[in-house]
Amino acid sequence: MNADDKIIIADDAVIHPDDLHEDFIRSSGPGGQNVNKVATAVQLRFDAANAPGLSERVRERTIKLAGQRATKDGVIVIEAGRFRTQEQNRADARARLAELVAKAAEPPPPPRKKTRPSKGAVERRLKTKAGRGTIKKLRGRVADD
């Protein structure tokens, strides 16, 4: 994926390269001397709140799905440091952002259809309920007649 290509996810969700800001930072974790010298991890920032390529619905859902990765200003921060090279981490961060926006761009599920229990089911429920009630009544003290 070229850095200048826009990422097209859906009709109402397009990520322009101008909306992305990348900073290269040092990776955490083991790695010896190399990890302390080379900035291979990527911190990708995407201003979802002001992105012109997102519709209002997709924008709100993206920020909501991002959770703690989104700031109060609506900027999504994704850190990628799984790989040893900048280019792989850069592609990984962009892929994760595209996956997040694609999930937000999915259409909402159809509304739930209201259903009613059948007449037989209602009768069976009431019959078993009455049966349990009589069992509980019989658990009481035995009266002397």
Structural domain including 84 reads 7-105
CB 71 within 8 A of CB 29: no
pLDDT in tens, 59-101: 888 888 888 888 888 888 988 888 888 888 888 998 898 898 8
Prediction pTM value: 0.66
SS3 141: coil
pLDDT in tens, 15-55: 877 778 887 887 776 666 666 677 778 888 888 888 888 88
For residue 139, being part of any structural domain is answered with: no
| Average pLDDT of the segment spanning 100-107 | 87
Is the pLDDT score of 5 beyond 80?
no
For residue 52, being part of any structural domain is answered with: yes
Q: Which H or E run includes 85?
A: none
> What is the model's pLDDT at position 38?
74
Identify residue 41 by its one-letter amino acid code. A
CB 80 within 8 A of CB 52: no
> What is the model's pLDDT at position 22?
82
- CATH number, domain at 76? 3.30.160.20
* DSSP output for 5-58: S-EEEETTEEE-GGGEEEEEEPPPSS-THHHHH---EEEEEEEGGG-TTB-HHH
Q: How many domains in the chain?
A: 1
For residue 133, being part of any structural domain is answered with: no
For residue 124, being part of any structural domain is answered with: no
Specify the higher pLDDT residue, 127 or 25: 127
For residue 111, being part of any structural domain is answered with: no
CB 53 within 8 A of CB 16: yes
For residue 125, being part of any structural domain is answered with: no
> What is the model's pLDDT at position 17?
75
> What is the model's pLDDT at position 129?
97
Highest mean pLDDT among 62-71, 87-96, 102-111, 114-123: 114-123
Is the pLDDT score of 127 beyond 60?
yes
